[in-house]
Amino acid sequence: MPKVYVTRDIYPEALEILRRGLEVAVWDEDRAIPRDVLLREIGDADAVLTLLTEKVDQEFLDHTPKAKIVANMAVGFDNIDVPACTRRKVVVTNTPGVLTETTADFAFALLMAVARFVVPGVGYVRDGKWESWSPSLFVGRDIHHATLGIVGLGRIGQEMAKRGRGFDMEIVYYDVYRREDLEQQHGWRYAELDDLLVEADFVTVHVDLNDHTRKLFSTEAFRKMKKTAYLINAARGPIIDLDALYQALKSGEIGGAGLDVTDPEPIPADHPILQLENAVVCPHIASASLQTRTKMAILAAENVVAVLRGDRPKTPVNPEVLDS
Ligand code: DGY
């Protein structure tokens, strides 16, 4: 019976799918699998179901000579050296589509939380500091009718735009691919990145992490943004230079930031950004609803089953391996 190694105890519905025809081994501790254990365990696997915490590089591939598929339970796959997998004819799959709206919901929640001081407000009440209503207590900025600048108009960026429209926001986007169809259909407006940074009250990041987007947001970008603007990131941490962001927030170069992702992850607990009232930092949970995480796990499992059966997986990242 073919064997799949699963690098974390994922949702039972997904394990059930795998167990129907495969031998399934699971790292079932509630922490990322140590690298040495991972390299040992994948030695005889025909498939590996990974999370974004596992680096799939040449060393990984050298330790799993029989593997036909690496199924990542994430839409992002910057943890995977896809060209190396392709050279070895290992299919890589991800989980696009099933997490789009859930991730956009959370990015919008970050936007609202930071603009309206939700987190410091809760802390204030919990700490027993609330003595009376005050005209100047935690005074934030309006979300409705503000300009939402979306960097990256892919699936999640589009959902973010729809949410913004629900709040009567003006939508301006930048993407390497201009979407005139969506501009006409929804009234969204295209701008060059620099212009978007100058204009937007909220800048929300929805691009992949790659060589062009690494540190896309650094001191220079913050200088272009409004001093009152907020930056939201539920994509990948390294797109923002975290130390430069800290300086920009502290010095008032920009108004605030809502981050679901950081570089590094986890962010060290003593990072000074965590002490700022105008920063909300969450532990990479934008896709974390029970429904969505279950769908992600099921899709990853179905991809494994398909490849080991000789069928086409639903969401290949390197389809050229299947076509060769
Ligand atoms: C992804 O899928 O890439 C997210 O970062 C985790 O859901």
What are the tens digits of pLDDT across the range 268-310? 999 999 999 999 999 999 999 999 999 999 999 999 999 999 9
**Amino acid letter for position 10:** I
Mean pLDDT of 163-186: 98
**Catalytic residue flag (residue 186):** no
Indicate which residue's Cα is closest to atom 3 of ligand 1. 76
Beta-bridge partner residues of 189: 172
Q: Is 19 a catalytic residue?
A: no
Nearest C-alpha to atom 4 of ligand 1 is from which residue? 74
Q: What type of residue sits at position 306?
A: A
290 CA distance to ligand 1 middle (Å): 14
Helix (H, G, I), strand (E, B) or coil at 117: coil
The answer to whether the CB of 56 falls within 8 A of the CB of 50 is: yes
Q: For 240, which DSSP code?
A: B
Over residues 49-71, the pLDDT tens digits come to 999 999 999 999 999 999 999 99
Identify whether the C-beta of residue 248 lies closer than 8 Å to the C-beta of residue 219. Answer: yes
Q: How far is the CA of 317 from the centre of ligand 1 (A)?
A: 15
H helix or E strand, kind and range, residue 52 = none
> Whole-model pTM?
0.97
**Helix, strand counts (H, E) of the chain:** 13, 12
- For residue 324, pLDDT beyond 90: no
CA angle 222, 214, 171 (to 5 degrees): 55
Cβ neighbour number for residue 22 with a 10 Å cutoff? 19
> Is-catalytic flag, 131?
no
Selection from 78, 83, 88, 25 nearest residue 55 by Cα? 78
Strand order in the sheet with 170-174: 189-190, 170-174, 147-151, 202-205, 230-233, 256-259, 279-281
Q: Do 70 and 50 touch, CB atoms closer than 8 A?
A: yes
Given the residues 8, 284, 293, 302, the one annotated as active site? 284
